[in-house]
Amino acid sequence: MSKNELKIILQKYGLRPNKLLGQNFLIDRSVLKKIIAAADLSKDDIVLEIGPGLGVLTEALAERAGQVIAVEKDKRMAEILEEKFSKSDNVQIIFGDILKILPLGLPLCKRGIKGDLEQNKILPASPAGGPNPLLPKKGNNRYKVVANIPYYLTSHLIRKFLESNNPPQEMILMIQKEVAQRICAAPPKMSLLAVSVQFYAQPKIVSYVSKNSFWPRPKVDSAIIRITPHSSPLCKKGVRGDLEQNKILPASPAGGPSPPFVKEGADKFFKVVRAGFAHPRKQLINNLSQGLKIDRAKISATLKKIGLPVRQAGLAPEQRAETLNVADWTKLTDAFYPSFSGDVARRQNK
């Protein structure tokens, strides 16, 4: 959709782009094609879109996916979308805040999205005997997230999805270029954000997108990023595969991949990681000692004895947090919390 077409539609409804909601509309068809290609959709796929705006991406998704569920926070936009897709049998528009909807265990649960939203009074109850278009196909509890999400939501929203009880198969997102680069970083440029995402998933930048591809034009360029959770069958290797290959974790049981750790393990892992990144300019030994309330001498000895196959000499106390990868943080957590390995074993026995 061109800039002029967007303006005509907005003028028709007496609307303007809402800066507070990060409404920058995509006007470059070539970028739209890249998003669709990255999503690799089929009629068996259920897609969750966040912030559909005027439905440019929604329309393209509906042509390829079996079902599209679009969640729009702006009531005015939701009304336009309802009208636009009123005759579509595979598009459902939900007016609501995705951050409030996610805790319900969405989008694919036993009752289906619509059932949960009705029960929690986010949607009015369906008429007796009426169809429930949001119930997933029998036996299908998988979905993909494909969205051009507002910049202010990026890190919080990604983490919410990855930590949910039913993470998506894959997330194809348009986000700020610098944030995408931080998510995909490697030592010595790691950050708390990079570790947080890479702990749960395998991220990869698909393509960069110029700010000129949007209207109104944002101040920064964007990137299309693919995030594949380690629990997804689409993740061929990922962090867990690397950890198993290097014998940091025991091999997964027969039957397929699973998330790296249960919640107890994740809590311990991030307690160590947050301590390490508490003061980025400080050395690892100082941050860990202060954050974990452990004597510096013990921290130093622990760091020196931790060796990976590619780093036999161990970790240096004077290193900084950005030089450690997820495997390093896993070894550190195991050293400080011996029950951490037990959390892994309990997850595998489930």
Indicate whether this model's pTM tops 0.85.
no
Rounded mean pLDDT, 175-203: 94
pLDDT in tens, 24-60: 889 899 999 999 999 999 999 999 999 999 999 999 9
Burial label, 162 (beta-carbon count in 10 A; 0-12, 13-18, 19+): buried
**In angstroms, rounded to a whole number, what is the distance separating the alpha carbons of residues 219 and 119?**
41
- The C-alpha angle with vertex 264 and arms to 258 and 269, in degrees rounded to 5, equals 85
Radius of gyration of the chain (CA): 22
DSSP designation for 53: T
Higher pLDDT, 6 or 156: 156
Amino acid at residue number 24:
N
Length of the chain: 350
pLDDT in tens, 239-280: 555 556 555 555 655 444 444 556 677 888 999 999 999 998
Query: What are the residues whose beta carbons fall under 8 Å from the beta carbon of 72, sequence distance 6 or more?
Result: 51, 52, 53, 78, 81, 93, 94, 95, 96
Domain ranges of the chain: 3-229, 238-349
pLDDT in tens, 122-142: 455 555 444 444 444 444 568
As a dihedral over the C-alpha atoms of residue 210, residue 56, residue 38, residue 135, rounded to 10 degrees, the angle is 150
Whether residue 205 has pLDDT greater than 90: yes
Domain 3-229 class in CATH: alpha beta
